[in-house]
Structure 1
Amino acid sequence: MASLLAAAAFFVLLHLLVSGTRARDAITAKIGDGPYMGLFSLASVAGLAWLGFGYAAARTAPWNASYWDITPLTWKIQLLLQGLAFLFVVVGLTTPNPTSVKQEGTLSRPDVVKGMLRITRHPFLWGVALWAAGHLLVNGDRASIILFGAMLLLALSGTTSIDAKRKRALGPTWHAFATQTSNLPFAAILSGRQTLKVGEIGWWRILAAIVVYVGLVVGHPFLFGVSATS
């Protein structure tokens, strides 16, 4: 348990206390943005690997008690959440977005706010949050709570961290974009600042998300040893 907790703490705190904070600004001022990104990426990969190995070991440990059971209803809700999660993740990764790494230049485009960005300016992170929440719903054991709870916390806090970082770096340019969009999915649409235009998302992106989702559902028993549908 100690190793898994340490891995979760390392991975979350690495992002909460460094990425998107003034500590990052200080580090990049000293060593430059390129070296920082390289070191941060290495640390993130190492932390994620540590988290994965720690979770695998913890699943069969005697202390890994479960606090809630899976039901047919929670399985169905989980499948729906995962579908939405991969839609947000895949579309988010393939849509030009000024909140993504090295894509601040997209703010100069007059049509930057379109498609998924009308729904949320952080589609990838909200996808991760939905993925983590869905897994928590059907995995009530201590190891899963630590792993997926950490990922949920990181995804949600990451949205505000990125907003703060972009605001410091881009000032009025960022403000203009932020006032047209929302962090919380559909908030800008419900407030009347945006309208939903599904066609702008790109049908190929939606199809790619479906393919990835179906592939992972089918491959889940082989990749993780557990069925995703029962």
Structure 2
Amino acid sequence: MLGLLVVFAVIHSGGAALRTRAEAKIGARAWRLVFAVLSIPSAVVVIAYFLAHRYDGIRIWNLQGVPGMVPSIWVVTAISFLFLYPATYNLLEIPAVLKPQVRLYATGIIRISRHPQAVGQILWCMSHALWIGSSFMLVTCAGLIAHHLFAVWHGDRRLKARFGVAFDRLQAETSVVPFAAVIDGRQQLVFSELVRPAQLGIAIAVGVFWWAHRYIPRGGMAFLHSRLGELLN
């Protein structure tokens, strides 16, 4: 699992590091498509492997029967998705329908945290580690969180190189730790900025995931596991 996460991290963060030079050579849309062709399959392999092995290793704890655990896990997971997905990009830029652009975001969820994807990933890891409780899950969370902490540093470094003083101003007015800049007075929440069409899409997706989880039991991943085994071998 750690090996797969390292491969994904190299593709994802490496692609981000190459973005400026690659876009200058082949254009923003073409580079986004190249990046998607490389990163999406690697993400699918990681997800499939995780689903097939999430209960492997030692079961360190089992809290699944504790009253209130199910709704608590789903609430934290839903919040994590709201941080992870519609936060700092235009969804139509992902398939290059709109021309992908690098921007400085200073509104919406950025007022809460300058790196919402990292916050969302940490929340997702917390909820799923609490629910699953396996040593495999803990290793997976360690790898995911390490990658996103690196991405915090790497992202700030790239934005500083691209925007200079404008990024310094944004950095001074925001925080990585959620709500830290709000609490110490550097930032003020504007709730109307948090209402975006993409958030509705994420809410619908959470509902679909809730419904679909019943069809992803441990044994139900046998087909994906066998196909993945053929790929890795």
Q: Which residue of 2 aligns with 1:6?
A: 3
Distance 1:64 1:47, change over 3 A: same
For the pair 1:179 / 2:172, whether they are aligned, the reply is yes
Distance 1:178 1:19, change over 3 A: farther
**Structure 1 residue 57: Cα displacement:** 4.2
Distance 1:59 1:133, change over 3 A: closer
C-alpha deviations, 1:38-85, integer Å up to 9, x for none? 55433322322332343344357xx62212212425544422311211
In 2, the alpha carbon distance for the partners of 1:181 and 1:115 equals 12
5+ long unaligned stretches in structure 1: none
In 1, the alpha carbon distance for the partners of 2:151 and 2:187 equals 23
For the pair 1:55 / 2:46, whether they are aligned, the reply is no
In 2, the alpha carbon distance for the partners of 1:214 and 1:172 equals 42
In 2, the alpha carbon distance for the partners of 1:151 and 1:160 equals 15
Indicate the SS of the match to 1:174.
helix
For 1:182, the aligned partner's letter is S
* Alignment length (residue pairs): 208
**Structure 1 residue 120: Cα displacement:** 1.6
Distance 1:14 1:205, change over 3 A: closer
Does the 8 Å contact 2:54/2:132 carry over to 1?
no
In 2, the alpha carbon distance for the partners of 1:86 and 1:28 equals 30
In 1, the alpha carbon distance for the partners of 2:61 and 2:12 equals 30
Does the 8 Å contact 1:68/1:140 carry over to 2?
yes
Distance 1:102 1:172, change over 3 A: farther
In 2, the alpha carbon distance for the partners of 1:52 and 1:29 equals 29
C-alpha deviations, 1:8-42, integer Å up to 9, x for none? 232234445x3555xx4897499667566555433
5+ long unaligned stretches in structure 2: 92-98, 219-233
Does the 8 Å contact 2:22/2:31 carry over to 1?
yes
**Structure 1 residue 192: Cα displacement:** 0.5
Give the structure-1-normalised TM-score. Answer: 0.72
Q: Which moved more, 1:66-75 or 1:194-203?
A: 66-75
Percent identity between the aligned chains?
Answer: 20
Distance 1:114 1:56, change over 3 A: closer
In 1, the alpha carbon distance for the partners of 2:85 and 2:178 equals 16
Q: How does 1:1-230 map to 2 (within 5 A)?
A: 4-15=1-12, 18-19=14-15, 24=18, 28=22, 34=28, 37-59=32-54, 64-71=57-64, 72=66, 74-92=69-87, 102-105=100-103, 107=104, 113-202=106-195, 204-222=197-215, 224-225=216-217
After superposition, the CA RMSD in angstroms is 3.3
**Structure 1 residue 205: Cα displacement:** 4.8
Q: Which moved more, 1:162-171 or 1:201-210?
A: 201-210
